[in-house]
Structure 1
């Protein structure tokens, strides 16, 4: 699939996925923030969030609420228990939903 045929979130996920697989981003490295990625790619924050979700679901990154997203240690991924991977994906999704809810509640209270 050419870069032009990709949705913006897919392009971001593909770009960062390649950087991780090629070793240009090492395990534990912090990814740029949502605002910075939004500016870099000229997209909305929600588009970046969706790209980060794709990367989390692929096991390439993990996120800590309030701290950012980091490159996962994928060296042992082939041996990873499928249940452990599913739990990581669910934890990531819950963290993302919690952050969104906090943001919405903050906007409502403002």
Structure 2
């Protein structure tokens, strides 16, 4: 670790030869541990995470009123999170500009 940056020595093989890639160069890699397709997702920054770990989103109900709804999450990424329960396809999620609570996924 140098200046808060963790480095790992790794070995890999390129699928194609690229003359711009040379021995000793550094690079960056993103490792995908799991992925799903055709699932309901919500942008991660729309999530409100309470101190007890419960996760909520704000949605518009049938009367066009904003409602705080608890959701259960599946896979989570930097940009979006899978919603296992609490939301349905077609629900209108409301985004409000609030000060960040400092918790992961809090509205910004």
Which bracket does the TM-score occupy, shorter chain normalised?
Answer: under 0.3
Q: As a proportion of its length, which structure holds more helix?
A: 1
Quick check: which has more Rg, 1 or 2?
Answer: 2
TM-score with structure 2 setting the length: 0.24
Q: As a proportion of its length, which structure holds more strand?
A: 2
TM-score with structure 1 setting the length: 0.23
